[in-house]
Structure 1
Amino acid sequence: MASGTTVSRRTYLAALGTAAVGGYAGCVGSATESVFVLSAGSLASTFDDHVAPAFEAETGITVHGEYYGTNAVMRMVEDRTKHPDVIVSADATLLRDRLYGEFTDWDVEFATNSLGLGYHESTSVGRALDAGQPWYEVVRGADPGEVAISDPDLDPLGYRAVQAFELAAREHDLDGFREQMLQRVYTEPEEPQMMAGVESGSRAAAVVYRNMAIDHEMPFFEFPDAYNFSDPELADHYATATYTTDEGYTAAGRPIIYNATTKDGADNPDAGRRFVQFLADNPAILDDAGLTVTTALPESNGDPPGAIDV
C-alpha cells in the first residue's frame, strides 16, 4: 500500500463534494422549501440518516447537505464558492477564527466527540488491538499505508490525529513517535474513502471520531483522555500540541466541539436558524448517532439572533 498524501489540497477543493438530498414530508402540490447545510464530513451520516429525516418530518423543510473537511468548508465560504444557509464545524474555534466578522457573529455549540482508531478486525492490526496490545506499538509496527489519517491541511480530524501522536509520544515516552507516524500513515483527503478503505480491509485502521466508527458499525479503540480530545478539563494539556496547516493557520489542540451558525446573506436564513435550533433542541437524536451531548450543551457564543433560544 502506498503511503503519503496522494491528492493535493487544491485538487480536492476543485472536486465535487458529497451531496445528499432528503425527502419532503409536506403537502401534495406545495413547493418544497429547503435548507442548504455545509458541514464537516464527520457528520455526513449523522445528518443524512438521523437529523435530516427528523427535521424534515417536523418542519417540512428538505435538508440539502454537502460534507467536506472543516478547513475546506471554511475556505469555500471565504471564497464564496458555496453559499450555504447553515455552516457546521468540527472545531468551534476554527469557525470563529475564520468566519466571525465577515460572515457571521454567532454560533451554537451542540455536541462533542472523542478520537481513536476505527479498525478492521480481520487484519493483523485489528487482531493485535483485540488482543490488547498497546495501540501505539501496533500502529508503529504496521506496514506503511496500513493506517490512515484524514488530511490535516483540510480537516480538524487530520490535525487532531497528528496532535494525538504528539501527546501520545509524551504520555508513553515514545521518542520520535509523531514523526515516525507521519512517515508511515496514508493521508486521505476524503473521509468517506478513508472509512471505505478500512471497511474493505485495504486499510487496517484509521484515526477517526467515535461517531464515524458507530456509523459504519466498525470496531473502535478509543484513545485515553490524555489525547482523545474529549475532556474539557484537559483543554490546557491538549493545547500543548499544535499543527500549522499549509495555509498558515496554527491550530492548538482543543476539546472536540461541534458548532453551527447561519451565514449572513444566506438564501434561506429562517430555515437555517430553524435547523440550528433543531440541533440544540434534540440531543437524543445526536446521541443515537454516536455523538456526545454533555450537560454544558447547547451553548451559544457571540450574538445569536432572537430566533435562536439556547
Structure 2
Amino acid sequence: MDGHDGRSGTIRRSRRSVLVTAGGLTAGVVGTAGCLGGTGGVRVIAAGSLAVALENGVGPAFESATGLAYEGEYYGSNAALRLVEDGTKYPDVVISADVDLLRERLYPDHADWDAEFAANEVVVAYAPGTDPGARLEAGEPWYEVFADADDGAIAIGDPDLDPLGYRALHLFELAEREHGLEGFRDELAETAARVPDEPQLLAGLENGDRACAVVYRNMAAERDVAVRRLSDTYNFGNPAFADRYARASYTTDDGHTVEGTPVRYNATVRTDADDPDAGRSLVAFLLENGDLLAEHGLRVDDSLPRFHGDPPEAIEP
C-alpha cells in the first residue's frame, strides 16, 4: 500500500524502507508498518509534521518498551480528522497539530478527552543560494522578501488539509496588520505554491524548486536547513500572544473557519477504538517521554501535559 492517497497528503511505507537523503535525513513522509489493518499493536493517525519524530523516535522506543507494534499514518491534521469523522479510517489514537481542531471535529462522537503533549512554532526555511534566500541571509525583513518573490518561489502547506497551511496564511495576515502591507495576505495566497505533503515543502527547497517555505521549527531542524526565526508576535509559538494570533482566520474548503492559535499537539484515543488499551499505552508513553520529542525539535515544557475532558486514569501522569 505504498504511495500517495491523492489529496489526503500521505505517503506510507515500512519504517525499514524509509528513503533517506545523502545526508542521512528522512526524505518524504515516513509511514506505516502496515496500513492500519490490525497488527496486535497500536494504530495511529497523526499530523504529518510529527512523522519523523514518531516513526524514528517514539515508535521504536514504544515497541521496545511495551512489546506492542506501532503503526502510523501521517496526514495534514484536517485531512486526518476528516478520515476519522467519515469512517474511512479507524485508528486507536488520533494526534492533531491544532488542539481546537481535534475537539471541534471529534467531540463528542469519536472522543471525549485529549492530552496536549508538545509545542512548536512556525519558521521560514530558505535556500541561501537563491535570491530570496540570500536576502534573508543578509537580514532583510522576511515579509519584504516574500512580497518581491516570483510566483511559486514560496511554498506553504495546503490550508484545506493541514494547520501548517492555514497558519502560513494566518502569518501573512498578521504581518499585513503589523506592518501596514495592504493586500499582502491575498497576494501570497495566490502566488505561493501549495504543497499537500508537508515534508515535500522542504524537499522543494533542497532540490532547487523553491526558495523559501513556511514550516514548523522541528521540520527544519530534522532536515538541517537554513531558517529565519520569526517574532513571537506571529510565530504561533508563544501562548502569551494567543489573543493576537486569534485576529487571523481562514475558512477551509469544507466551510470550517479556524482562527490563529499557538501550535500545540494533542492526542486522544477514539471512544470506539479497536484496542483502547494499546491506545492509552501509546498516549501515556508520549506524556512520559517528552525527551524523545525534544530530540526532534519539538518543545515540551513545564506547562505540558495539559488535559481536556476527563482522561482515563491510565493516562494521567
Q: TM-score, normalised by structure 2?
A: 0.89
- 1:18 aligned onto 2:25: no
Return the letter of the residue paired with 1:239: A
Greater mean deviation of Cα atoms: 261-270 or 63-72: 261-270
Greater mean deviation of Cα atoms: 109-118 or 216-225: 216-225
Deviation at 1:192, TM superposition (A): 2.4
Q: How far apart, in 2, do the equivalents of 1:20 and 1:72 lie?
A: 19
Equivalent residues in 2 for 1:148-167, closer than 5 Å: 148-167=155-174
Aligned to 2:134: 127
Aligned to 1:59: 66
- 1:116 aligned onto 2:119: no
Aligned to 1:139: 146
- 1:288 aligned onto 2:287: no
Instruction: Specify which of 160, 169, 182 is matched with residue 175 of structure 1.
Output: 182
**What is the SS of the residue equivalent to 1:52?**
helix
Instruction: Specify which of 231, 235, 243 is matched with residue 236 of structure 1.
Output: 243
Is contact 1:21-1:65 (8 Å) kept? Answer: no
Aligned to 1:3: none
- Give deviations 1:43-70, integer Å, cap 9, x for gaps: 1111111111211111122211100000
Q: Which runs of 5+ in 1 are unaligned?
A: 1-9, 24-31
Equivalent residues in 2 for 1:215-294, closer than 5 Å: 215-294=222-301
Return the letter of the residue paired with 1:269: P
- Give deviations 1:89-118, integer Å, cap 9, x for gaps: 000000000101100100000011000111
Q: How far apart, in 1, do the equivalents of 2:206 and 2:285 lie?
A: 32
Q: How far apart, in 2, do the equivalents of 1:119 and 1:266 lie?
A: 41
Is contact 1:117-1:207 (8 Å) kept? Answer: yes
Q: Which runs of 5+ in 2 are unaligned?
A: 17-38
Identity between Structure 1 and Structure 2 (%): 51
Aligned to 2:97: 90
Is contact 2:201-2:215 (8 Å) kept? Answer: no
Deviation at 1:286, TM superposition (A): 1.0
- Give deviations 1:67-89, integer Å, cap 9, x for gaps: 00000001000111111011000
- 1:196 aligned onto 2:191: no
Q: TM-score, normalised by structure 1?
A: 0.91
**What is the SS of the residue equivalent to 2:233?**
helix
Is contact 1:107-1:304 (8 Å) kept? Answer: yes
**What RMSD in Å do the two structures reach over aligned CA positions?**
1.6
Q: How far apart, in 1, do the equivalents of 2:158 and 2:124 lie?
A: 16
**What is the SS of the residue equivalent to 1:37?**
strand
Aligned to 2:33: none
Aligned to 1:7: none
Is contact 1:34-1:271 (8 Å) kept? Answer: yes
Q: How far apart, in 2, do the equivalents of 1:123 and 1:169 lie?
A: 24
Equivalent residues in 2 for 1:25-64, closer than 5 Å: 33-64=40-71
Deviation at 1:33, TM superposition (A): 3.2
Is contact 2:81-2:105 (8 Å) kept? Answer: yes
Q: How far apart, in 2, do the equivalents of 1:136 and 1:89 lie?
A: 28
- 1:73 aligned onto 2:80: yes
Deviation at 1:11, TM superposition (A): 4.5
Return the letter of the residue paired with 1:105: D
* Change in CA separation of 1:21 and 1:309 when aligned onto 2, cut-off 3 Å: farther
Is contact 2:47-2:74 (8 Å) kept? Answer: yes
Q: How far apart, in 1, do the equivalents of 2:301 and 2:14 lie?
A: 29
Q: How far apart, in 2, do the equivalents of 1:251 and 1:158 lie?
A: 12
Is contact 2:154-2:210 (8 Å) kept? Answer: yes
Is contact 1:85-1:263 (8 Å) kept? Answer: yes
